[in-house]
Amino acid sequence: MIEKVGIREVMRNFKILEKYDMVEIEDKKTKKLKGLFISEKWAKELKNSIEKLIKEKKQKELDEIMQFAGIADGDTQNLSAKEIRKMRALSRVSE
């Protein structure tokens, strides 16, 4: 069960967090979300999901960087820019 609760309500009655699976904590004046409280029974599952998303994001960034690793390793030492573009185009076609 999900509930929206104000910051003051949480400060006055901390036990309110125990009643719900997830509590959105918001500033009632500005109507801005200030935080999210997840109960213990969902915390581990959510943590694993977030770690998986972070790992996928880092792997994607690494893959983008590794596209240029061939240039740094010297695979293109004696090639002109035109030859490099041609080689790259041919590798894309073959994939």
Report pLDDT digits (tens) over 23-73: 999 998 999 999 999 988 889 999 999 999 999 999 988 877 776 665 555
Residue 64 belongs to what domain range?
42-94
pLDDT computed for residue 57 by the predictor: 94
Domain count, the chain: 2
pLDDT computed for residue 47 by the predictor: 93
| Residue 46 sits in the same domain as residue 89 | yes
| Residue 90 sits in the same domain as residue 49 | yes
DSSP 33: E
| Residue 48 sits in the same domain as residue 77 | yes
Report pLDDT digits (tens) over 74-94: 565 667 778 877 877 887 776
Could you give the residue ranges of the DSSP H alpha helices within the chain?
7-12, 40-66, 69-73, 81-94
Strand partners, 27: 32
Note whether 7 and 33 are within 8 A (CB).
no
pLDDT computed for residue 17 by the predictor: 86
What is the band of 7 on the pLDDT scale with cuts at 50, 70, 90?
confident
| Residue 28 sits in the same domain as residue 70 | no
